[in-house]
Amino acid sequence: MRSLILGFASASLLLAAGVAQEGVRWWSHIQVLADDKMEGRNTGSDGHRRAAQFVAGEFEHAGLKPAGTSGYFQPVKFDVRTIDEPASNLALERDGKATPLELGEEASFNLRADLAARVDAQAVFVGHGLVIPESNLDELAGLDLKGKIAVYINGGPSSIPSALKAHYSSVGERWKAFQKAGVIGMAAIANPKSMDIPWDRAKLARLNPAMSLADKKLVDTEGMQFLITVNPANAEKIFAASGHTFGEMLRLADADQPLPHFPLNIGFRANVKLNHSQTESPNVVAVRPGSDPRLKSQYVVFSAHLDHLGIGQPINGDRIYNGAMDDASGVASLLEIATLMKERNLRLKRSVIFVAVTGEEKGDLGSTYFASNPTVPKKSLVADINMDMYLPLFPLKYLEVQGLAESTLGNDIRAACDKAGVQVQADKEPDRNLFIRSDQYSFVKQGTPALAFKFGYLTGSPEETLTKSWLQERYHAPSDDLNQPVDKTAAAQFNRILLDVGERVANADDRPHWNENSFFRRFADGE
Ligand SMILES: [Zn+2]
């Protein structure tokens, strides 16, 4: 009895030592990827290319085969835009009188779209600007929007399921509905309650290069002439001629009441000078071939984004946006999961693809390209398991999963978490639209069931405070670097759970499928 207990104790100690070592190894990849030498891995930069070479080398060490179009690489072409801000301006027009809006302070042009050089158009407030047929919601109904600019507040009714709302809140889906109504551009106002990044920091990114895929078929903002983000602290003046106030709109939104829709009786006048160029940047793609003669032609995808924001506006004297958590952490997990498969000599029936995508920070562009032009037949991709900034800042007790209720992958992650003694949580903050805010969504739109993750916590807990202050202080800031406290052992536990999910999916008799009642099922035609 005694020796048995001792035996058990030493085995679990060994296990604990193993996971701690794995955590140190996981961090060692981040030390390379988030080093100042990688210069923040901006899409198209030399720093990103060096990081891509490193990842390809590590894929090779882990025994993975090249699965790009050129060895481990799948080059992707991008159109690049920067703004010449001194030669650009924005004004509010009321009764023929123009009042300038200070760029950066009051509003910023968003170069995600190829903006028109000159725009002069009336503005209409469209509430949250949502058109969701499944929820019988059409916030554009009955409005005259021809040639107008639609102004909206991010968010939407809490009665609408979060994944559905997230989908229709995406720029591409919004623009489809707006364009159909005759809208020529849009102005988004963030609800201060759900702003991840304080305006003072968010405004710095407006001077960074923006990109879209050079392949026009894959661009979701075609025809958009005007796109701005408005500082909510200065939004009141946009409502000044409408008979309503922004404060009133926010109160309604925060009380989950429907928002009214009305002409703002003001116009936006914009002159925009853009500089255009082109660049190329690779996705890094590798495969661990499956062992089953029939199932090996199906692929489970693990994805994470290698790009970050590069070198930008300095904060506290630091210009390098290292992106240690965003998303060197996810790429390090890719490398760890591949390495664990090799170390454990796993025989998996299906093949597993590991892809470190580029262009995520520019709008999920590398994953859009890969999911639309996969290097294996599209229908053979059975699942995407995406890891982006999952924030292992404390021990792993709760794992928040996006896409949990959408497909049979929800059962796999539940089973893996159960086994690891970790509790699964659904999306707690639907207004942050996390389901569409990373690369898993590119796969979802092509019909592939997907999951994404965050370290979870209970509301009001110290872990919530840690996560929220991380977002306030380090998210998309140069301080997301190697000098920050991270729970490496918890990250290793996360990696093991995802390895377990991958194993379950790769070895299951049936490929994963969308749940009967999932909205996203529609993208999987012919399934
Ligand atoms: Zn990011």
- Count how many residues are written for the chain: 527
pLDDT digits (tens, 9 = 90+) for 118-154: 999 999 999 999 999 999 999 999 999 999 999 999 9
Average pLDDT value for residue range 449-454: 96
Res 15: pLDDT: 64
Res 10: pLDDT: 56
pLDDT digits (tens, 9 = 90+) for 240-264: 999 999 999 999 999 999 999 999 9
Res 428: pLDDT: 76
Neighbours of 489 (CB within 10 A): 19
pLDDT digits (tens, 9 = 90+) for 173-217: 999 999 999 999 999 998 998 887 889 888 988 998 999 999 999
Max CA separation in the chain (angstroms): 90
CB–CB of 244/121 below 8 Å?
Answer: no
CA of residue 210 to ligand 1 center, whole Å = 14
Q: SS3 of 460, please?
A: coil
How far is 412 from 401, CA to CA, in rounded Å?
Answer: 12
Query: At a CB cut-off of 8 Å and minimum separation 6, what does 1 contact?
Result: none
pLDDT over 50 (residue 3): no
Res 248: pLDDT: 97
CA of residue 213 to ligand 1 center, whole Å = 18
Neighbours of 171 (CB within 10 A): 18
Tokens 């005007």 belong to: 226
pLDDT band at residue 430 under the 50/70/90 scheme: low
pLDDT digits (tens, 9 = 90+) for 344-373: 999 999 999 999 999 999 999 999 999 999
CB–CB of 378/445 below 8 Å?
Answer: no
The percentage of the chain sitting over the pLDDT mark of 90, rounded to a whole number, equals 87
Mean of pLDDT over the chain = 94
Reading the block at residue 456, the tokens are 């979870």
CA of residue 214 to ligand 1 center, whole Å = 21
Instruction: Give whichever of 9-13, 89-93, 520-524 has the largest mean pLDDT.
Output: 89-93
CA of residue 368 to ligand 1 center, whole Å = 16
Peptide bond into 144 cis (omega under 30): no
pLDDT band at residue 81 under the 50/70/90 scheme: very high
What letter represents residue 410's amino acid?
G
pTM recorded for the entire structure: 0.89
How far is 115 from 85, CA to CA, in rounded Å?
Answer: 13
Tokens 């026009």 belong to: 216
CA of residue 322 to ligand 1 center, whole Å = 11
Tokens 């930069």 belong to: 45
pLDDT band at residue 2 under the 50/70/90 scheme: very low
CA of residue 311 to ligand 1 center, whole Å = 14
CA of residue 476 to ligand 1 center, whole Å = 6
CB–CB of 523/381 below 8 Å?
Answer: no
Q: How far from each other are the two terminal CA atoms of the chain, in whole angstroms?
A: 54
CA of residue 201 to ligand 1 center, whole Å = 13
pLDDT over 80 (residue 431): no
How far is 428 from 434, CA to CA, in rounded Å?
Answer: 10
How is 49-110 classified by DSSP, letter by letter? HHHHHHHHHHHHHTTPEE-SSBTTEEEEEEEEEEE-GGG-EEEEEETTEEEEE-BTTTEEE-
CA of residue 361 to ligand 1 center, whole Å = 5
CA of residue 468 to ligand 1 center, whole Å = 15
- Rama region for 265: left / alpha / beta (φ>0; ψ in -120 to 50; rest): left
pLDDT digits (tens, 9 = 90+) for 486-499: 999 999 999 999 99
Reading the block at residue 349, the tokens are 């029936």
Res 5: pLDDT: 46
Pairing of β 299-305 and β 351-357: parallel
CB–CB of 397/243 below 8 Å?
Answer: no
pLDDT over 70 (residue 60): yes
Question: Which letter does DSSP use for residue 235 in this model?
Answer: T
CA of residue 209 to ligand 1 center, whole Å = 15
Neighbours of 12 (CB within 10 A): 10
C-alpha dihedral, 515 to 520 to 524 to 527, nearest 10°: 10
CA of residue 229 to ligand 1 center, whole Å = 18
Neighbours of 368 (CB within 10 A): 27
Of 227, 247, 277, the closest CA to residue 79 belongs to 277
CA of residue 293 to ligand 1 center, whole Å = 39
Reading the block at residue 282, the tokens are 């690779």
Using CB atoms within 10 A of its CB, is residue 57 exposed (0-12), middle (13-18) or buried (19+)? exposed
CA of residue 296 to ligand 1 center, whole Å = 33
CB–CB of 315/479 below 8 Å?
Answer: yes
pLDDT over 60 (residue 17): yes
Query: At a CB cut-off of 8 Å and minimum separation 6, what does 113 contact?
Result: 212, 221, 224, 225, 227
Average pLDDT value for residue range 61-66: 98
CA of residue 144 to ligand 1 center, whole Å = 36
CB–CB of 449/383 below 8 Å?
Answer: yes
pLDDT digits (tens, 9 = 90+) for 215-229: 999 999 999 999 999
What letter represents residue 318's amino acid?
D
CA of residue 147 to ligand 1 center, whole Å = 33
CA of residue 308 to ligand 1 center, whole Å = 6
CB–CB of 354/64 below 8 Å?
Answer: yes
How is 326-373 classified by DSSP, letter by letter? IIIHHHHHHHHHHHHHHHTT---SSEEEEEEES-GGGTSHHHHHHHHS
